[in-house]
Chains A and B, each alone.
Chain A
Amino acid sequence: MEKQSFYQEFEVFSKRTPTSNFQHQFSLLAPNGEMALVMAQENFMRREPVVDIWVVNRKHLHGLTQVNKQALQRLDNKDYRTTKGYGYLKKKWRHYEQVMLDEKEILSWGGGGKKDDK
């Protein structure tokens, strides 16, 4: 049985730069969300750059049990979903004297950002 306490458990997430994803940092105890945000900065962001913070009360988190996590395992037969299943195209394009437009090439087309590194 859990003891009564004014503390609640929060999981802390933060973003390092405006373009990065939120990353889980750790958990902390705080009486409410507002204090949790203050504590999150004190506890986990004393040095690293940070542009945004989320705190989530643990009672609002829904997760998987150890047994249900096993259902996440995938069979290794899904090549048609990934570029791995189409790797043979590289050789085909070479035959036609063209370079294959692979993931690295395509994701470099963002424009305004990184230029071709060739």
Chain B
Amino acid sequence: MNHLTALLSAAVLSSCLVGPALADTSGKKIALSNGYAGNSWRQSMLESWKKIGDKAVADKVIGAADAFTTAAKEAPQQAAQIQNLILQGYDAIVLNALSPDALNGSVKQACDAGIIVVAFDGLVTEPCAYKVTVDLAETYGAEQVRQMAKRLPNGGNILYIRGVAGTSIDDDITKGVLREIEKHPNLKIVSTVHGDWDQTTAQKAVTGVLPSLPDIAGIIDQGGDGYGTAEAFRSAGRPLPIIMLGNRKDELVWWKEQIKTNGNYDTWSASEAPGMATFAFWVAQQVLDGKDVPKEVPMDILFVDKSSLDAQIAATPDGGVANVEYSQDDVVKAIAAAKK
């Protein structure tokens, strides 16, 4: 980017002296601040963090990579947790924030104490934090509509299942969906319900609204709700629409079953990979290493199509979500791309 800071000169200097993968950060400590562990996504996230973090420690790339999760899903607790991490002397905090603004005070304190803060998934608005960003509107919302249009060349009625109302994620994805669907006049959203990214909630909402709906050709959603939606259609005895999926193992297995019983069934599945915590980990490591890192590093979502379906089913644990862990190289490349 365009800001010339001391960081940049340090980065130039150090990269002149030694090659990449410096041992500079071998004494540095990185903490993961997490506010929730109760679903499969967060569990996979913690596992990925441990896997990559432990390896980085063993390889002496980093001094420590510890994960901390608060007891309750509440922002004040996470704010207190961040303050503790500051006192414990961590050099960087990788943060999955429970609130976009309630943690800003603590994040600012950390920055003022010279600690690098990298937010991912749950972002914060405090400008001193680095952010791992995903363009959900484009890569997920709009892309789903394009994938749907490809599979429904003659158009049809669409049921759109939204996430938790009032969250930035729900707003972003919806923006992308609505923007793109205007370009496909033969796709018509006939009803919108909130499934809260949860199969139970989605199944309830769809079960309730389904009897009043005309034939549905496709479901656009936000992931985590596809299997519940399929169950709602099945128990209502309605023909199965094309349901966009969210990379959960049960969704992928269900897709495989549909292919077995009806060879033509084709859909598309995507989600942020829980391993994005490891992406943020390497961003923090790069900053600690003195590299010039832009404040926002974009990341791609992980998608599964027919060709990668079998491999993803095999790699994902029962009840889990498809995952990928990022390497230092991946992140170095992403940072280079972001600087263009």
Q: Do these two chains really belong together in a complex?
A: no
**Which of A's residues lie within 8 Å of B, judged by CB?**
none
**Which of B's residues lie within 8 Å of A, judged by CB?**
none
